[in-house]
Structure 1
């Protein structure tokens, strides 16, 4: 019997699978529903959501499996697995009669009491573009499996992947599915009621002390709990997908406010050439109309494109594909500036510099906080600044809290910075006077 093959990037694939934290977890009604739909579409008695681990395939969902595999079977050895072949090939496999296929004829599931004869499986591909396992159907009778049914199976496997991604986000947020549902309803109502507020933190020109821009930061004006910071609701927004409409609303509000400040500032005012930076999430970037949303916000607000900076984090870019590249090209063609946020903190920062060619890099606050602590820390900060400059990027230092940090950054050639030394994030009303008087 041929050994079940391994994926070409097996170590990365296993790391990706484990990051979902779903192995050896309990039942999931939504996954059961998807597996049941797969069984019905293909007219099979059993369907499985099979996650292929290092030495086993484990069944996260297995409606009807007892009829084929026997009672209580939740996993099998990987070498006995049909699904390991789907994972290795990264494509759907249909087996009308396993006894006539050399890859599977000697599998214990085929020769043993289960007598599996027919199988079809489609890969479940995670956020890293790597297969986590397969959505499959099995039957004890041989059967012809037409291409259209297998395509439906592949579509359902995509829905399984999306649901697993949601579960991963819920786990990262420390939330259960019922919490996400309840909290997302509250957040949806808050967005519709206009309870999302935007605060702004100034970006300062270090040599002159002039405010040249602001970063827009969302807050929730909760009617019972008061003003809530992002950490209190962004995990739910990400897990539920509400970060997309919320992000659209924040973008429009920030562009409108910046345009108003520029107009009130006049030709000689402090805000005459003010820019506004707005964070963009990975979910927003993956939306097919993201470039149109940016263009509409500029049109509605009257803000010049060159006055808008979109800040992209490594998290928002992780696992992104060609569609994100195309969207960013369209956004850049509008005249909008692209910034890479939290620069230096992630393993892929350098690759993102090469791939996305940002106009600005923001040196993460952890490097600013470490300035003066040791020669090594100073060397790291100096190297990041030098690299950004050599690539022609503007540099912004985040988290500046002391005059010594500001002086050191100025000596390194950093022109722009933000942090509590200059101002905490404040409402538009609180910043109004400073931004509309002569600088």
Structure 2
């Protein structure tokens, strides 16, 4: 493993950090660098003390969005013509990149998509121990700004699976079908999480519940599912072999740190490159416990179908994907147009999709004018609400209770549909 410090104390306060925030938005939203920031970034690129991950992430975002005529001046720091000659660019920016990675690096710089095998090779490098952190930032940033393809996600998924700890192998010891709950690992800043109560809900429906959690890679750091599960004293899974012991209450919790040290190391990298790279999506759909159904969420509605597709690629038989949950979480909004997309692959290999909208008349009794906001919610308060609701069926917070009941109603409707689709059909 490289000895480079992967985590900056204040990554958004550096010139390159501010530059990444400005241009690393996405292929439809990036803006030109203002003149003063452009000058600061030019000086930072010329400074050998600048963090290599930020150097790579900044240049990757710049190339993916396309430099403006004014931004072309940054090319002089690397070498004349560098932005037009990918091989020269890679040699100058990533001089310690292994030769075997050069074709993939060149392809990324040219703006081309990777095949599954190429993305797998890239993933092996990203999760490996080689020292070129600049290339890691460059590759993650390019793919994020131009958006990763399903083929790239599949290759990266296979590479990530090869990093799993030995206890999470190809065999599952579960005595019943499993539901995997996974929402953004950066959590929330103005609301409470209901994830453990969803675990209880699915367990009452006859499933084993597994909540995927991990350290926050940002941009939010206030409260996430890992914090909540630790305060609740949940059982953390160390191996698939533990799945033969059914758990009451919340089900199992799988911390990314126990699943894959390589993925856990990327949390520090993600904090340094600021923007959310491919792992923010990928870590939610990995299926180390061989679950049947994935219950997850998206912040951007355009990713709802993509998440369902990735779930089926990862080996799930079905997926429930929440849109417009509070801060992108699994908790539905009671005032905005939340809803779920259900996807299923039947026993005959057919794919079916169905939407259930939270603002439909079926769920009208849960609707409110607005969603309650909480300033810097604490894990201790969130845990107390979860424990109260679990013990009494209600808590001291009426808004929290209403949200949990809406979630139970809409996820239950989705689960009914999925079970109907997966039920073996009589042979004619």
> Given the two structures, how large is their TM-score scaled by the length of structure 2?
0.31
> Given the two structures, how large is their TM-score scaled by the length of structure 1?
0.30
More strand by share: 1
| RCO higher in structure (CA 8 A, sep ≥6) | 2
| Structure with greater Cα Rg | 1
